[in-house]
Amino acid sequence: MVSEEKLDTLRDFRKFADKFLIIRTKSGRTEPFKFNRAQDYLHRRLETQRTATGKVRAVILKGRQQGCSTLIQGRFFHKVVTTKGKKAFILTHDKEATKNLFTMAIRFNENVEPGLIPIPDTENAKELYYRELDSGYSVGTAGNKSVGRSQTIQLFHGSEVGFWSYAEDHAKGILQAVSDEPGTEIILESTANGIGNYFHSRWNNAMSGSSEYQAIFLPWYWQDEYKSIDDGFQRNEEEEYLFGLYNADGLTNGHLAWRRNKIAGLSKDYDAGLEQFKQEYPFSATEAFLNPIQNVFINARFVTKARKADISGTGALIIGVDVAIGNNDRTAIIRRKGRLAYNLEKLANHNTMEICGRLKRIILEEKPHKMYIDCIGIGAGVVDRMQEMGFDMVEGVNVARSANDKDKFKNLRAELWSDMRDWLYQEMSVQIPDSDELHGELCSLGFKYDSAGRLQIESKDDLRARGMNSPDGGDSLSLTFLSGIYGSHNSQIEVPQLNTYERSMFR
């Protein structure tokens, strides 16, 4: 017979964690799970939402190793072993993280007092299943697009979502396996990994109130372990400013001393170390969402300025088209008149015929002086078809070919991106679409110089290897600079008209 006191402990997660859950600390010791400040705050936010709505939907932006995953694992384990019909699924960004989180669940299970919870009927490398409760706990890795798709889940934890390779696919798959019923929970958490990606988008939607998710930010200085000895520590001007902002919320000289040492350890270059620190240990959400590489080709502040400008476009209409079919890529189409870039379109799941149809309509309605299409790969067929239809203003561009200035640029792509950067950096204001996604693409690419001193822009393949999306919008905008910043002003040209049959095809 279980005593009333133990039943009360089983019902209350805080009491259950303190009494029965054993964790391994950063130092390697095992000890009872005691909430730290970040975990306490997170728990209260989740419980407030659950009480108000009957379910939990949360996007969590955090610093490194603040115990967020531990809190969620404990929360879900408690629900699985004390409630009937609860299936929890944890999706992580890599195999090692998957193994670590499941090991945590195994440790939880092994250290609960015998007789208080059922013995699992299934216990293997990725699943705990309790037949008596029809409840279970399983894990997967985000490297597989279809992972968890066929399951029925009540509790879902997405770990380090900013680093998922197939985030959009998982959103359409496994996240749809969670019903909208009371008692269900979806918790997405991550450190930041640049802007314009799936996690950044979910965070923005939560912040704006345009989704049912609540946005929860956990600042790094809430962690007591992120402190150094501060004897004789003197704050510099920057640290004095930060101390004034965050001291009332718990920032101490010890935290600032630890921060100074950490920045120095991240890079010999202070500015580079500072940028990396901001992403991994943010004071705010704003500074967290930065590009994760040190050698960013386009500075975000110029892009931010261009998003907020109000410019009247003058000169010839130049249209850039970056063609893509399949995977996570989309065909991107953007217009530019001088200092104004506008009306970015992205076409998903369009075949070449459909893309040609859309481009033909744009030409007929908007009468561009030039339409530049990246003709590498599938784009070559689009260029051929458009020119076959009589559109002489369409020009295929092989951005992998030699640059016009061969001594300065590795290839034409580097030259076009350099021209686009000069356009953004010029003293006269320019305007681009006010888009987080385009912002992220423009600020996502790194660069280097080859042995001959020529500029080389990071390739799409290297970008994908870092877990970033293809910069389709940025590439399409760069194409508009093939004829210079302003191009020709002769934009009124005659173009062939659609016949009746073609209108029905491209509608």
pLDDT tens string 460-503: 877 766 656 678 899 999 999 998 887 653 433 333 444 443 43
* Shared-domain flag, residues 131 and 186: yes
25 in any annotated domain: yes
* Shared-domain flag, residues 355 and 435: yes
Q: Residue 440's pLDDT is what? A: 80
What's the CA gap between 42 and 62, in Å, rounded? 11
479 in any annotated domain: yes
Give the residue from 471, 477, 440 showing the smallest Cα distance to 458.
471
**Last residue within a domain, chosen from 169, 187, 218:** 218
Mean of pLDDT values over 77-92: 89
Residue 60 one-letter amino acid: I
pLDDT exceeds cutoff 80 at 329: no
Q: How confident is the model at residue 408 (pLDDT cuts 50, 70, 90)?
A: very high
Tell me the range of 137-151, 219-233, 437-451 where mean pLDDT is highest: 219-233
324 in any annotated domain: yes
* Shared-domain flag, residues 281 and 336: no
Distances (CA, A) of 171 to 19, 115, 349, 432, 464: 36, 38, 17, 29, 19
411 in any annotated domain: yes
323 in any annotated domain: yes
* Shared-domain flag, residues 281 and 151: no
**Last residue within a domain, chosen from 157, 187, 218:** 218
Q: Is this model's pTM higher than 0.75 or not?
A: no
Domain of residue 168: give its range. 4-218
Q: pLDDT digits over 351-403, tens only?
A: 999 999 999 999 999 999 999 999 998 899 999 999 999 999 999 999 999 99
Residue 248: count other Cβ atoms within 10 Å of its Cβ: 8
* Shared-domain flag, residues 356 and 433: yes
Cβ–Cβ under 8 Å, residues 474 and 438 = yes
Using DSSP's 3-state secondary structure scheme, residue 173 falls into coil
Q: H helices of 92-153, where? A: 95-111
Quote the DSSP letter at residue 4. Answer: H
Averaged confidence pLDDT in the chain: 85
Q: pLDDT digits over 231-241, tens only?
A: 889 999 889 98
Q: Residue 468's pLDDT is what? A: 65
Q: For position 422, which CATH number holds?
A: 3.30.420.240
Domain count, the chain: 3
Residue 482 CA to its chain's centroid (Å): 30
Q: What percent of the chain has pLDDT over 70?
A: 90
Q: For position 141, which CATH number holds?
A: 3.40.50.300
* Shared-domain flag, residues 138 and 257: no
230 in any annotated domain: no
* Shared-domain flag, residues 270 and 320: no
* Shared-domain flag, residues 254 and 316: no
* Shared-domain flag, residues 72 and 114: yes
Q: How confident is the model at residue 103 (pLDDT cuts 50, 70, 90)?
A: confident
* Shared-domain flag, residues 190 and 328: no
Q: Residue 175's pLDDT is what? A: 83
Strand segments (E) across 348-451: 370-374, 394-397, 447-449
Q: Residue 502's pLDDT is what? A: 42
* Shared-domain flag, residues 280 and 321: no
What's the CA gap between 454 and 196, in Å, rounded? 29
Residue 80: count other Cβ atoms within 10 Å of its Cβ: 27
Mean of pLDDT values over 141-152: 68
227 in any annotated domain: no
Here the tokens at position 387 are 């020119």
* Shared-domain flag, residues 269 and 416: no
pLDDT exceeds cutoff 90 at 115: no
Distances (CA, A) of 313 to 218, 341, 475, 489, 498: 43, 8, 20, 12, 28
294 in any annotated domain: no
